[in-house]
Amino acid sequence: MPISILMPALSPTMTEGTLAKWLKKEGDAVKSGEAIAEIETDKATMEMEAADDGVLGKILVPAGTSGVKVNAPIALLLEEGEDKSALAKAAAPAAAPQKPAAPKPASFDSRAPHPEPVEGKARAAQDEASKMKAGRVVASPLAKRLAKEANVDLARVAGSGPHGRIVRRDIEAVAAGKLPMLAPAQVPTGVKAPPIDVSMPFTEVPNSTFRKAVARRLSESKRDIPHFYLSIDCELDALLKLRADLNARAPKDGEGAYKLSVNDFVVRATALALRKVPAANATWTDAAIRLYRNVDISVAVATPLGLITPVIRRADAKGLAEISREMKALAEKARAGKLTPAEYEGGGFTISNLGMYGIKSFSAIINPPQSCILAVGAGEQRPVVKNGALAIATVMTCTLSVDHRSVDGAVGAEFLAAFKPMIEDPTTMLL
């Protein structure tokens, strides 16, 4: 009876994939462990290896087919001694494979027994067989061939495929110098690694596409951008008094209604400071430093999905009331997941305010491709010296994170020197 070759699950989150290419054609002999197809997952293109020896009798899913469900039959393999007449018996498709359940957050309790699924045991056995054939190095046939051509020692390559298997992208990354080879002391030996400690209960929350994108961008920012940090303390008493006066006079209903927050003053002061120090409103590129003509400010907003930064366009040309109304509308849309790309893409400078959570001060990661982000802490009463005497004032610490490639320390200091007086004497922002 022909063996059904099923669409494999090449990642823990994979439920379907694209059969990008067949590496064998009908009638070709197939050996166990030999690559027979290339599968595109949501993360990468990976090779699929045969689990049994035989002849590729019939291809059920042609190359280039997308949306192929995991465990769906994609081909039939003739066993030794079988001829094509056996395919007729298998032509009638069996019951459709059960659609794999979508991944759900799973609570783990170390006190309960957790038997390994039969499918997991079969896969582990297949992986173990591959290890026995390849020694201590587990690599796909294509990876082995590329390693030989590039003169790469497989024993010193860290595999990124399933169960640590070395795949094509690993060899290409090493050959291109993007992935360092393991030092001799890091090369795995025959000694088994200690078991992973699973004594702590946990709950897994699958990463959304949005969360993955945020993680990727911030990792690239912290890794590739040379950050430096400048902090300044600003007294808030005059600002808080003016805010209370303006809010008391503000219309409470209708389109013109508004209620000013401290963050609205921070946005306004930042915009005017950038107009005075345009060199801080910049982006680094390998060819040139781009200085933005418009003052478009991104403001970090926490949402159930993660952090997003809607943009207030031409903030330097808007008054406090307009900034307040626009920021409130953008924040509501952000939390509802209804922002359009035009409302969150772009921006030349970011503000991140954690003062409402009681955070005194912090250093934020730059929002690429921008060059600066201002981290705003909570206003709190602190002892200060005024006219040679000790006094109490409400003080807010602001920390500027700067890309040193495009903005020098002096420019960052000039920006904060322009920002601080407007916060401490907010009437200057009303002119």
Comparing C-alpha atoms, which of 36, 41, 70, 40 is closest to residue 53?
36
Of how many residues is the chain composed? Answer: 431
Q: 310 and 417 in one domain? A: yes
Q: Does residue 113 lie within any of the structural domains?
A: no
CA angle 307–362–314, rounded 5-degree value: 55
Q: 305 and 161 in one domain? A: no
- Tell me the longest C-alpha to C-alpha distance in the chain: 102
Q: Does residue 243 lie within any of the structural domains?
A: yes
Query: Can you give the CATH number for the domain in which 167 is found?
Result: 4.10.320.10
Query: Can you give the CATH number for the domain in which 241 is found?
Result: 3.30.559.10
The pLDDT of residue 153 is 82
The pLDDT of residue 363 is 97
The answer to whether 353 and 309 have CB atoms below 8 angstroms apart is no
The pLDDT of residue 282 is 96
**d(Cα 178, Cα 142) in Å, to the nearest integer?**
19
Q: Does residue 205 lie within any of the structural domains?
A: no
Q: 397 and 281 in one domain? A: yes
**d(Cα 23, Cα 25) in Å, to the nearest integer?**
7
Q: Does residue 310 lie within any of the structural domains?
A: yes
Got the DSSP string for 182-234? PPGGGS--SSPPPPP---S-EE--PPPHHHHHHHHHHHHHHHHS-EEEEEEEE
- Domain range for residue 289? 211-430
| Per-residue exposure over 232-259, b if at least 16 CB sit within 10 Å of its own CB, e if not | bbbbbeebeebbeebeeeeeeeeeeebe
Q: 327 and 241 in one domain? A: yes
Q: 131 and 104 in one domain? A: no
The answer to whether 14 and 102 have CB atoms below 8 angstroms apart is no
Q: Where are the alpha helices (H) located in 50-140, listed in sequence order?
A: 85-91, 118-134
Q: 263 and 136 in one domain? A: no
**d(Cα 170, Cα 181) in Å, to the nearest integer?**
10
- In the chain, the number of structural domains is 3
Q: 233 and 292 in one domain? A: yes
Q: 408 and 264 in one domain? A: yes
Q: Does residue 145 lie within any of the structural domains?
A: yes
Q: Does residue 417 lie within any of the structural domains?
A: yes
Q: 401 and 254 in one domain? A: yes
Comparing C-alpha atoms, which of 257, 295, 258 is closest to residue 276?
295
Q: How far is the CA of 310 from the CAs of 175, 343, 347, 349, 375, in angstroms?
A: 40, 6, 9, 11, 16
**d(Cα 152, Cα 149) in Å, to the nearest integer?**
8
Q: 97 and 159 in one domain? A: no
Q: Is the C-alpha dihedral spanning 426, 427, 428, 431 positive or negative?
A: positive
Residues of the chain with pLDDT under 70: 11-13, 41-45, 89-136, 162-163, 178-199
Q: Does residue 199 lie within any of the structural domains?
A: no
How remote is the C-alpha of 377 from its chain's centroid?
A: 26
Q: Is the C-alpha dihedral spanning 291, 297, 302, 304 positive or negative?
A: negative
Q: How far is the CA of 27 from the CAs of 23, 60, 92, 235, in angstroms?
A: 12, 14, 20, 80
Q: 235 and 348 in one domain? A: yes
Query: Can you give the CATH number for the domain in which 26 is found?
Result: 2.40.50.100
Residue reference for tokens 């709950």: 203
Catalogue the active-site residues. Answer: 404
Residue type, 83: D
Q: 131 and 97 in one domain? A: no
The pLDDT of residue 119 is 45
Whether the model clears a pTM of 0.75, i.e. scores above it, the answer is no
Q: Does residue 286 lie within any of the structural domains?
A: yes
**d(Cα 75, Cα 58) in Å, to the nearest integer?**
6
The pLDDT of residue 92 is 44
**d(Cα 211, Cα 122) in Å, to the nearest integer?**
33
